[in-house]
Structures are given as structure tokens and as C-alpha cells.
Amino acid sequence: ATTQSHYEANSIDYAIENGDTNILTLGVVIVEVPLSYAYNFTIPSGELSVGGSAKIMQGRSFFKTQRVDNKDDDSDNAQNEITTSTNFGMDLGLLYVSSDIKGLRAGMMLKNFNSPSFETVKGFGDVTLDPMARIGVSYLILENLEVAADLDLTENEMIDDVTRSRMFGVGIGWQAVEWFNLSGGFMKNTSNSDEGLIYTAGFGLGPKAFHFDLAAQMSGQQNSYEGQSVPAYANIMLSLNSQW
């Protein structure tokens, strides 16, 4: 024996028949436009550059509610919402070029040290970008061939507040000509073994005054989504840089 209110609150069958079973999806896309400046110092063992970036950042939050039940028409309670907000971010960086070991460079970056935040929809609360710190080292094997490695010093939170990211990467870059370069390598999230080994590749095109970069990252580990295999991790980065 049960009551009608208990049945409505606890029955899966009731929830399916009345369209109360849903998948909620939240995503955030952040676009930033930085203005950067660096100053170079000569020190006894080489050169030290100190720089920073001031960034205008726009965050677009996407929210979707998708009905899940046994009916053919699943669009009557689907919702799509977008919220846009703008904030200001700051980055800092150091670069050391050795005069004792020709071709050796080492650097450190502190990204979003002012912790900019962006609005989301449906009462999920703001998304805050915590400061991220990374160190790296590179070495010129030949005049136009360079190897590099970097490591996150911070363990970074992802949008679900559960997954963590701390990347270690190794790569090689080839400056074919002054206006064109290729790069490739691999990286590993040391805080999340589910992503497996992630392969990276990219290229740059154009002079320093108008330089275009495209980079892609994809995991060799596969997950299943709606019966299809998809990479456990994938990322595409596009940038336009101007130096003068």
C-alpha cells in the first residue's frame, strides 16, 4: 500500500511517463583577448625576461535540459539557455636564457592569478578560474629544431568540481622557415588516469606581425557515447599573435 504523493515522488515509471527524467548539461566557453608586454634583463649567467598579460575575457555559459524517456517525441521539455558575462584577467611569466649552455631556456608561468569568475545559468553558481602555475624547459638541438617539456605546478579543477588536471608534456618543434613551423608530442594528466596518453600536434603560419597558430590534442583512450567511440580527451586551440 502507498499514497499517491509517495508514488509520484519515488516511482521511476511515473517519472518516465510524465517527462520528469532528464539529462542536464552545462558547458562554459571562455574567449580571451590579451595585451602582453615583457622586459629583458642581462644577468651574469644569461638573460632574464619578465612579462605579463592583461586580458579581456568573455565567458559564455551553455545549459541544456534533454528529456530521457520511452516516447518518440523528446523535444517538448528540452531547454537551451545561454548566459554571457565579461571579466578581466592577469597572467605573469618569467623566461631565462642561459649563456653557459647554448640553446637552453627555462620558464615559469602564472595564469589568471586574479581568479576571474563568470556567471552560469540555472543557479549553478559562478565559474571561477583559479590561478594556474606551470614550469618548462627547452633545448635547441639544431638551429631550427627544439625539444621541450613542461609540468603543471598546480592541480587544477575542471568544470565538474570533481575531475582534476595536472599535465606533464614533452614535445618537439621544427621551424621550417621563418614564417612556418610544425610541432608534435604527447602529454599525460597525472591526476586522471582515465584520459590515457594524449597526443598533440600543431602548426604556425605567418610573419611575426600576423602569426596564426593551430594546435590539437587527442587521447588514445576511447569512451562510448550513444553507441559510438569518442576520445576520452580532446582539445583544439586557435590563436592569432602579433609581435612588434
Mean pLDDT check: name the lowest of 20-34, 105-119, 207-221: 20-34
Task: Give CA separation, 146 vs 99, 158, 199, in Å.
Answer: 17, 31, 18
With bands split at pLDDT 50, 70 and 90, how would you rate the model's confidence at 15? confident
Portion of the chain with pLDDT greater than 90, in percent: 56
The three-state (H, E, C) secondary structure of 146-202, written as one string: EEEEEEECCCEECCCCCCEECEEEEEEEEEEECCEEEEEEEEEECCCHHHCEEEEEE
The predicted-structure confidence for 34-75, as pLDDT tens digits, reads as follows: 999 999 999 999 999 999 999 999 998 887 777 776 555 555
**Centroid of chain to Cα 236:** 9
pTM for the model: 0.71
Mean pLDDT check: name the lowest of 66-70, 229-233, 235-239: 66-70
At 91 the pLDDT is 97
With bands split at pLDDT 50, 70 and 90, how would you rate the model's confidence at 24? confident
Q: In this structure, are residues 91 and 109 in contact, taking their beta carbons and an 8 Å threshold?
A: yes
At 66 the pLDDT is 72
Burial classification of residue 88, based on how many CB atoms lie within 10 Å of its CB (0-12 exposed, 13-18 middle, 19 or more buried)? exposed
At 13 the pLDDT is 76
At 41 the pLDDT is 94
The CA distance from 153 to 183, in Å, is 23
At 1 the pLDDT is 67
CB atoms within 10 A of CB 33: 11
Nearest Cα to 108, choosing from 135, 138, 139, 148?
A: 135
At 19 the pLDDT is 66
Look at phi and psi of residue 122 and say left if phi exceeds 0, alpha if psi is from -120 to 50, else beta: left
- Does residue 208 sit in helix, strand or coil? helix
At 40 the pLDDT is 95
The predicted-structure confidence for 182-216, as pLDDT tens digits, reads as follows: 999 999 999 988 888 999 999 999 998 999 999 99
Q: What is the mean pLDDT of residues 148-154?
A: 97
CB atoms within 10 A of CB 63: 18
| Residue 226: pLDDT over 80 | no
At 131 the pLDDT is 95
